[in-house]
Structure 1
Amino acid sequence: MAPKEVVLSFWAAMETNDFYLASKLLTIDCVVQWPQSHETIFGRENFAKINSQYPASGKWTFVLNSIVAERNQVVTDVNVSDGKLFERAITFHTVEDGLISKQVEFWPESFPAPEWRRQWVQVMGE
């Protein structure tokens, strides 16, 4: 599979909420970094365990907003929700030999638009 297809398959597997299935698209010794919390997950087994144990209010959903691929680098913008929590993940994937060997994942926190900018912007959803 091309790197883009590997990453699309990964998100499809994540959508099943079987994180051990999804982890099969990662190398055994993959590295997953979460820069905002300064954490690094080493290995697909730890990836599956942490995602399986992550507190959730319901089934996780993953909606792909965009994907950009160049050679073995793939970037995705995904909405993630458990029905109560609505977040967005920007993930940089490195694909080698048909598996994801590295992810650097950013979880930007949303915040209300400052009032002082109102005259120049339209707030999404209004």
Structure 2
Amino acid sequence: MKQATIREALNAHWQASAQGDLDAEHAIYAEDVICDYPQSGERIVGRVDLQALRGHHPGKPSGFEVRRIVGAGDLWITEYTISYTGRTAYTVSIMEFRDGKVAHETQYFADAFEAPDWRNQWVRKIP
């Protein structure tokens, strides 16, 4: 699959995610997709279950912003933020494509935290 075609599919996926369009959001996935959430130890198997799980999320996102998408061949990574009820989750999605669809996705979620003062002399604030 061409790089431009995958990037186009990813852009459509993330835009649909931000808009809450579950059908368009999940069109990118293979029927037998595996989605892993390593931090909670959960694995979702199949597009139907993945879409159902996301469709029943009690706290619908109030904000969604893709920071960057990088990838080549069948491996693509998206860094983005999701806002849920006033909290921002910094998220990384690793997608592995097979025959033009996502066959495996791993997602990592992290909460924001205050940087310790002791390292101020070596860091800059991200704009």
- TM value normalised by structure 2: 0.85
Structure 1 residue corresponding to 2:49, chosen from 37, 46, 49 = 46
Partner of 1:17: 20
Amino acid of the structure 1 residue aligned with 2:74: N
1:106 matched to 2:113: no
TM-score (norm 1): 0.86
Shift of 1:83: 4.8
Alignment RMSD: 1.9
CA displacement 1:53-83 (0-9 Å, x = unmatched): 1121x55432110010211111000111235
| Structure 2: gaps of 5 or more residues | none
Alpha carbons of 1:98 and 1:60: their partners in 2 closer, same or farther (altered >3 Å)? farther
Partner amino acid, structure 2, of 1:111:
F
Regions of 4+ moved over 4 Å = none
Residue 61 of structure 1 corresponds to: 63
Residue 87 (str. 1) matches residue 89 (str. 2): yes
Q: Quick check: 1:88–1:108 contact (8 Å CA) kept in 2?
A: yes
**Matched length:** 124
Once residues 101 and 85 of structure 1 are traced to their aligned partners in structure 2, the CA distance between those partners, rounded to angstroms, is: 30
* Contact preservation (8 Å) 1:27, 1:100: yes
In structure 2, give the amino acid aligned to 1:21.
Answer: A
CA contact (8 A) 1:7 1:93 kept: no
In the alignment, the residues of structure 2 paired with residue 24 and residue 6 of structure 1 have an alpha-carbon distance, to the nearest angstrom, of 9
Shift of 1:111: 1.6
Structure 1 unmatched runs, 5+: none
Q: Which one has more relative contact order, counting CA pairs under 8 Å at least 6 apart? A: 1
Letter in 1 for 2:86: K
